[in-house]
Chains A and B, each alone.
Chain A
Amino acid sequence: MLSSRNVSLPARRRFALSLLLALFVAAAGVGQEAPPALTPQAGGVLVVDGGSSPLGWAAAPGGPLVSLLPVVSRLGGQLEAEPLGAGFRLELGESRAMLAPGSAALTLGEEIVPLTQAPQLLGGELLVPVDLLQRTYGDLLGLAFDWPGDGRLLVTRPRQRELPVEMELVHLQGITTLVFRFPERPRYRVRERLGGYDVELVGDRLLPPPRRTVQDPLVRAVAIGAERIRIDLAPGVRADHYELREPFRLVLDLVAAGEAVATPTLPEQRRATPRVRTIVLDPGHGGSETGATGPEGTLEKDLTLLIAQQLAARLEEQLGVRVVLTRTTDVDLGLDERAALANQLRADLFVSIHLNSSPRAGARGAETYFLSMQASDQRAALTAAAENLGQSVEPIAAGPDAELQLILWDLAQSQHLAASQRLAALIQQELNVQLDLRDRGVKQAPFRVLMGASMPAVLVELGFLSTPGEEALLRTPAHRASLAEALVRAIARFKGEQEGVAPVPPAPLEAVP
């Protein structure tokens, strides 16, 4: 029941907010750098279709800045200054970009696009970085810009690429995620139209996959052609789109606006022969992160480690599986690192072990959680925002290790939610029996440690350390052993179900809030 729900935002909007957030945080300081000094250069040349014309440019610490007006004159478009000196508007056909001297970002339609460096005014001349030209003229008109480093700006029409594309679609909890996977980033734009969206290729062509029928409550049809992907949506469905890298993916999150979406039962996505061979146990907290503290001073981080160690021994002994603990000592360990470790080990299960606390007196009992989907979706969008920045700006919630972002990937846990829910239900059932609890079903919450796990993953709260009676019980080795035994039984049932070797009666699932 307890849940702190997140909301999905488009990736670029998130970037804008993080940009503003960064400014918000830093505004009180005086650490802002002044605009970089520009060194005007002579002899610049704009080369288009073999012809050349003069081009003003200046050397800046972040690379060359070139005069925008000659480019506009040669390639077309309209450049106008906004009223009140607020910036400049560049119109290319139906598209409009807005840029401002001193701001290392531009808006392109509703998108906010980061730039490698800010445009500058020099002697009344608007100078822009070359990547601004690529994100405007390049992406919209299929042109390529090259700066060989000798004062020439080369504008070419690159060879048309033929890119294969694969499509994946998943619908969970009212959200359909449509993923188009490419071997490299295509030149494209997404256009909204009546009844859906079109992904239009600009200068590239697609090698469509075999035609397939889409069965989804939000998507009527997806037609992939050589020059366009046509996505027809059910009435009232809107889309947010963002990019993911390595491999390149264009992701559209589709939700029905204004009304609840009938969520069909999703068949669990299983591997051909699911096995449970490696289990990662995660003793909650550690080091300076103590977790909950009992009235007698018992620390959650200490008991979770004891329980995890005991559980690991029993699992290895009784199930013959390999068990790895995310920590074996009292050390600090980031939440993302815990899931990343499980991913690196290609674990088949991830169980995070915790003890609860509550401001209410007398709270007792065990609870088992799996991830709420929107949290995973949010994380994917956040990762996309970071990747769109080329890692030049740390995402607002990223861990210290950039490589970690490569281990944690988008939608990782979303592919295992059904299995996670099943595992959570089995654990809760066994704990209910062990602790003689009234069954309140399993719960969902946006727990960070579960988000990046690419295997069935749950977080189990084995009791309330804040309640004196439960604290005393949890300090008892016999009670901890009984909890571990309940978890072993639940995991054994799950393993049996997955591997089809030990049929067990299906556990009834309560509605999950």
Chain B
Amino acid sequence: MSRRLAALLIGAAAGVLVVAAAYFLFFSRPAPEAGPGAAAPARPGAAGDEAPERWTAELFFPTSAGLLAPERRELAGAGEAARAVEAAVSALLAGPETPGLLPAFPPGLEVRRALVVEGIAFVDLGRSGGGPPPASGSEEELLRLQALVHTVTASVPEARQVVLLWDGEQRPSLSGHVDTGSPLLPDPRLLAPAP
């Protein structure tokens, strides 16, 4: 068997496994319901539009009071939920444009990949040149994680929880405090009161 044929077969097998896993996950179950984020910004292409246009994401950044505040951001169209998560998190990593808001993450991070399954967004982060997750104290880590979770769940209604990966692996904790071995939910207590 040639190497090319073997690679094709292996790729086909991987595809079958993915389909099988998704099948086992979804069949005999009701279709995933719309999440509580029904009031989230509309995203063109979510219902299968051919040519999605710009849409509005809601990004969350720390404030000087140690809470999180939203910033609405126009992003390039991304109909599929996973692509929308990638776009929103990439914008979050790039930092705020609103004066007074603080960056949630240090520079040099990127979204490797995202996936949304049954309301859970899997977000894989990493450093552009490789390396460990950012070190921080617990408050900074909590704000980072919650900025990420609020951004994803507010911007992409299909996502209600977030599983964070670093370089493709789920770690016990991003920076040594908060458990990231479980899906994370948005914590509304961290949101700054609306002005």
Residues on A facing B (Cβ under 8 Å): 1-7, 9, 16-17, 19-21, 23-27, 29-35, 82, 86-87, 96, 98, 100, 102-103, 105-107, 110, 112, 284-285, 288-293, 300, 334-336, 354-361, 363, 367, 369, 375, 378-379, 382, 395-399, 445-449, 451, 459, 461, 464-466, 513
- CB-based contact B140/A448 at 8 Å: no
The interface-forming segment of B6-14, B41-49, B51-59, B69-77 is B6-14
Residues on B facing A (Cβ under 8 Å): 6-7, 9-11, 13-14, 16-18, 20-25, 27-29, 62-66, 102-104, 113, 115, 117-118, 120, 122, 124, 132, 135-140, 142-143, 145-146, 149, 161, 163, 165, 168-173, 175-185, 187, 189-190
A33 to B10, CA, bound (A): 7
A338 to B168, CA, bound (A): 25
Given A6-B183, A7-B185, A464-B137, the answer on whether A33 and B172 have CB atoms closer than 8 Å is no
Least Cβ–Cβ distance between A376 and chain B, in angstroms = 9
A293 to B14, CA, bound (A): 43
A178 to B192, CA, bound (A): 37
Known pairs A19-B21, A34-B9; list 12 more (Cβ under 8 Å). Answer: A2-B143, A7-B183, A17-B25, A21-B170, A96-B28, A105-B21, A110-B28, A110-B29, A356-B139, A379-B179, A379-B181, A397-B179
Which B-chain residue is minimally distant from A376 (CB atoms)?
B179
A29 to B168, CA, bound (A): 12
Question: Which residue of the partner chain, among B18, B177, B185, B190, contacts A447 with CB atoms under 8 Å?
Answer: B177
- CB-based contact A378/B182 at 8 Å: yes
**Which residues on the B side are within 8 Å of A398 (C-beta)?**
181
Central interface residue in B113, B118, B120, B136, by most chain A CB within 10 Å: B136
- CB-based contact B189/A397 at 8 Å: no
Least Cβ–Cβ distance between B146 and chain A, in angstroms = 6
A395 to B104, CA, bound (A): 29
Question: Which residue of the partner chain, among A25, A35, A382, contacts B182 with CB atoms under 8 Å?
Answer: A382
- CB-based contact A363/B66 at 8 Å: yes
A47 to B184, CA, bound (A): 50
Question: Which residue of the partner chain, among A26, A30, A359, contacts B7 with CB atoms under 8 Å?
Answer: A30
A229 to B75, CA, bound (A): 55
**Which residues on the A side are within 8 Å of B172 (C-beta)?**
334-336, 397, 399, 448
- CB-based contact B143/A358 at 8 Å: yes
**Which residues on the A side are within 8 Å of B182 (C-beta)?**
6-7, 375, 378-379, 382, 397, 446
**Which residues on the B side are within 8 Å of A447 (C-beta)?**
138, 177-179
A363 to B138, CA, bound (A): 13
- CB-based contact A461/B137 at 8 Å: yes
Least Cβ–Cβ distance between A262 and chain B, in angstroms = 20
A35 to B25, CA, bound (A): 21
- CB-based contact B181/A396 at 8 Å: yes
- CB-based contact B122/A4 at 8 Å: no
Question: Which residue of the partner chain, among B7, B9, B117, B137, contacts A356 with CB atoms under 8 Å?
Answer: B137
**Which residues on the B side are within 8 Å of A378 (C-beta)?**
179, 181-182
**Which residues on the B side are within 8 Å of A397 (C-beta)?**
170-172, 179-182
- CB-based contact B176/A335 at 8 Å: yes
**Which residues on the B side are within 8 Å of A334 (C-beta)?**
172
A1 to B103, CA, bound (A): 20
Q: Can you give 13 A-B contacts (C-beta < 8 A)?
A: A32-B10, A34-B6, A34-B10, A87-B23, A100-B23, A357-B137, A358-B66, A359-B103, A360-B62, A397-B180, A448-B173, A461-B138, A466-B137
A308 to B187, CA, bound (A): 32
Which 7 interchain pairs have the tightest Cβ spacing?
A397-B181, A357-B137, A103-B20, A356-B137, A292-B137, A378-B182, A448-B179
**Which residues on the A side are within 8 Å of B24 (C-beta)?**
16, 98, 100, 103, 105-107, 112
A375 to B66, CA, bound (A): 22
Least Cβ–Cβ distance between B148 and chain A, in angstroms = 10
